[in-house]
Amino acid sequence: MKRVLMGAMLASFLPMVASAADMPRSDVKAHCQQIASATGSSSNMLYNSCIDMEQSAYNNLKGQWSSLPGNVRSHCQDVASVTGPGSYFLLESCVDMEVSAGSSRSEFSFG
């Protein structure tokens, strides 16, 4: 009985492990609605611009996501969800900055 229960528990975790490198899912509509309503009234122009930026960022990230280092993916997911629903635009910006910073680390000297 214990083996069956342990097997079932392990099997339930496999999809999470297999999808660790999958793109995160963000609620783009909710995020863009927050942006469009930031001034107190809802702006269709801001909403549409936000949707376009989010779609572009998602499209740019989806091909490279699984090849990014795990620490960059994890850190940038945290950054991108700071607004609540998540943002692919923030995710892409974070990834770009982290990858760039990782290739040219700053040095400190007592000179």
For 53-76, how does the pLDDT look when each residue is reduced to its tens digit (9 = 90+)? 999 999 999 999 999 999 999 999
Question: Cα–Cα distance between 26 and 52 in angstroms, integer?
Answer: 14
pTM of the model: 0.75
Average pLDDT over every residue of 81-87: 90
Q: Where are the alpha helices (DSSP H) in 1-111?
A: 2-18, 28-36, 44-62, 70-80, 88-103
